Amino acid sequence: MIEFDISLVWLRRDLRLHDQAAFSRALESSKAVHVAFVFDTGILDALPSQRDRRVEFIHGSVAALKQELEAWGATLHVLHGPAGRLVPEFARAMNAQAVFCCRDYEPAAMRRDAAVAATLAGLGIAFHACKDQVIFEQDEVLNRAGKPFGVFTPYKQAWLKKLEAIQLRPWPVQPFCDRLAKAPPAPMPGLEEIGFQRTDLQALGVQPGAAGARRLFEDFLSRIDNYREARNFPALKGPSGLSVHLRFGTVSIRELAAAALGIGGAGAETWLSELIWREFYQQILWHHPRVAEGRCYKLEFDAIEWPDPPGHFEAWCEARTGYPLVDAAMRQFRQTGYLHNRLRMVAASFLVKDLLVDWRRGERYFADHLIDFDLASNSGGWQWAASVGCDAQPWFRIFNPVMQSERFDPGGRFIRRYLPELARVPDKYIHAPWSMPAKVQAECGVRPGREYPLPVVEHGSQREKALALFRRAASAKAGARLSPSGRPG
């Protein structure tokens, strides 16, 4: 049904034209549709480096979208500046009667969108935000009491029970393409013009845009049957590699979930669970926005005073903790901007429970450098590893970094890939090179403390210190539940 003569689609973290909710709804309800993307200085100016892989990925994805629209006789209007001001100005300049976008659930984005909606209303322009980046949002999956879930498994069960074919149906675009506003190609600022520099994205084999997502998805489908087992071993090609594409919307979550359900089997079912975990963290962020401000989901653990020993955080960041799997993980992270999911858990647990560093410092470090950084998933993952979040690893269960290494990189293949200085260390000692006898050190040319660091901490003693921190916080909570008589109040 046609409601508007002219509409504007404002692209954000939804950088595709296929199965895109806002694009489809605008086309279906308008006679002419313009499309715009804003390199928002409100976001870009806060980034710590001008060599940011995410910005280059977005720039490449936007360029691909522009080329695709121009093949249809339209164009993509690429703006640079504060989105809160530019979107209403551009909508008015195009004589748009409505602005369509895909809904974002991060608190800062919600504040921005509310301000844009208010400005547009003052101009007599409608604002329509559509669900797109998740299957279920906000209050769509609640428990029987009408409250949000705080534990994953019952959330997953309710999610699957609620799922119907209509939720996975792609948004139609092709039938309405003739409603795109015809326009000559508009100029697009180069990466340098928006204040950023080229990175090693191409050398790393990261292809932006929907074409890059399609290539990875097709490759993953050929090996999805092995996903359940392979996903835990960083030396194997287990994960899909689609996390950055999900983050910036160059692939549709509906297409991925439909594929997993259609394929079936242990691998696809496990992968679907990972996609549902993503939505679980999104609804936690929506219902508990304090987690975006560094507050613990389990409020009693806000009281923990983390020792933050001098030098520990730096040793972790710089991959010199003396624990090979942790250091190899952080090398991978520093070199690629990506970190295998199993290693995210291991590295995060080690920072918090071995090095006794406040988990918020690690969360912020990942936020600054992960190419696939997503606020909800990053916050949820860090709080899970630190045992302060929803459905978290129990605080009294602490990863042993050597045992994790022996279990998930048994032959040391991943370690040797990122720590070539340990290449000649025998398998027997690769997970704990400080335990090598002097003769073996001489044979392989690795002397702990020289060619490779000695452990910065001893796991056993640090474990006891971490347990004491959590016990105090848990005891304080238990005490607060008691009445002055010492009985439950």
Give tens-digit pLDDT for 14-56.
999 999 999 999 999 999 999 999 999 999 999 999 999 999 9
- Catalytic choice (106, 274, 406, 451): 274
Number of independent structural domains in the chain: 3
Q: What is the pLDDT of residues 105-151, one digit of tens each?
A: 999 999 999 999 999 999 999 999 999 999 999 999 999 999 999 99
Query: Quick check: is 193 in a domain?
Result: no
- Catalytic choice (341, 406, 421, 434): 341
Does 306 participate in catalysis according to the annotation? yes
Query: Quick check: is 138 in a domain?
Result: yes
Mean pLDDT of the chain, nearest integer = 95
Of 287, 308, 341, at which residue does a domain stop? 287
Beta bridge mates, 239: none
Does 140 participate in catalysis according to the annotation? no
Answer whether residue 479 shows pLDDT above 70: no
Query: Quick check: is 206 in a domain?
Result: no
Query: Quick check: is 430 in a domain?
Result: yes
Same domain assignment for residues 126 and 138? no
What tokens appear for 154 in the block? 């019952």
Query: Quick check: is 331 in a domain?
Result: yes
**pLDDT (0 to 100) of residue 394:** 86
* Averaged pLDDT, 456-472: 96
- Catalytic choice (68, 306, 400, 434): 306
Instruction: Please state, for a pLDDT cut of 70, what percent of the chain lies above it.
Output: 97
Question: CA triplet 279, 282, 283: central angle to 5 degrees?
Answer: 90
Model confidence band, residue 471 (pLDDT cutoffs 50, 70, 90) = very high
Please tell me whether the overall predicted TM-score, pTM, comes out greater than 0.85 for this model: yes
CATH code where residue 22 lies? 3.40.50.620
Does 359 participate in catalysis according to the annotation? yes
* Least-confidence region, from 160-174, 390-404, 474-488: 474-488
* Averaged pLDDT, 155-178: 96
Other beta carbons within 10 angstroms of residue 433's beta carbon come to 27
Answer whether residue 478 shows pLDDT above 60: no
What tokens appear for 13 in the block? 């973290």
Model confidence band, residue 379 (pLDDT cutoffs 50, 70, 90) = very high
Q: Can you state the angle between helices 359-369 and 375-385, rounded to 10 degrees?
A: 150
Measure the CA–CA gap between 418 and 333, rounded to whole angstroms.
10
Q: Domain containing 151: what range?
A: 133-170+211-287
What are the Cα distances from residue 111, in Å, to 114, 118, 140, 485? Answer: 5, 11, 21, 46
Of 131, 159, 192, at which residue does a domain stop? 131
Query: Quick check: is 176 in a domain?
Result: no
* Averaged pLDDT, 327-339: 97
What tokens appear for 305 in the block? 């005073």
Query: Quick check: is 196 in a domain?
Result: no
CATH code where residue 234 lies? 1.25.40.80
Answer whether residue 346 shows pLDDT above 60: yes
Same domain assignment for residues 226 and 331? no
Q: What is the pLDDT of residues 213-260, one digit of tens each?
A: 999 999 999 999 999 999 999 999 999 999 999 999 999 999 999 999
Of 267, 287, 307, at which residue does a domain stop? 287
Query: Quick check: is 309 in a domain?
Result: yes
Same domain assignment for residues 89 and 158? no
Same domain assignment for residues 33 and 112? yes
- Catalytic choice (10, 382, 384, 395): 382
Same domain assignment for residues 304 and 278? no
**pLDDT (0 to 100) of residue 487:** 37
Same domain assignment for residues 305 and 405? yes
Contacts 24+ apart (CB under 8 A), 87-90: 87/8, 87/10, 87/36, 87/38, 87/116, 87/120, 88/116, 88/119, 88/120, 88/123, 88/125, 90/8, 90/36
Same domain assignment for residues 117 and 155? no
Same domain assignment for residues 309 and 239? no
Same domain assignment for residues 460 and 312? yes
Query: Is the sign of the CA dihedral 305, 307, 310, 314 positive or negative?
Result: negative
327 compared with 483, residue with greater pLDDT: 327
Same domain assignment for residues 250 and 333? no
Query: Is the sign of the CA dihedral 110, 114, 117, 123 positive or negative?
Result: negative
Same domain assignment for residues 277 and 148? yes
Does 10 participate in catalysis according to the annotation? no
Beta bridge mates, 9: 35, 100
- Catalytic choice (359, 378, 384, 395): 359
Burial of 216 (0-12, 13-18, 19+ CB in 10 A): buried
Model confidence band, residue 474 (pLDDT cutoffs 50, 70, 90) = confident
Same domain assignment for residues 315 and 443? yes
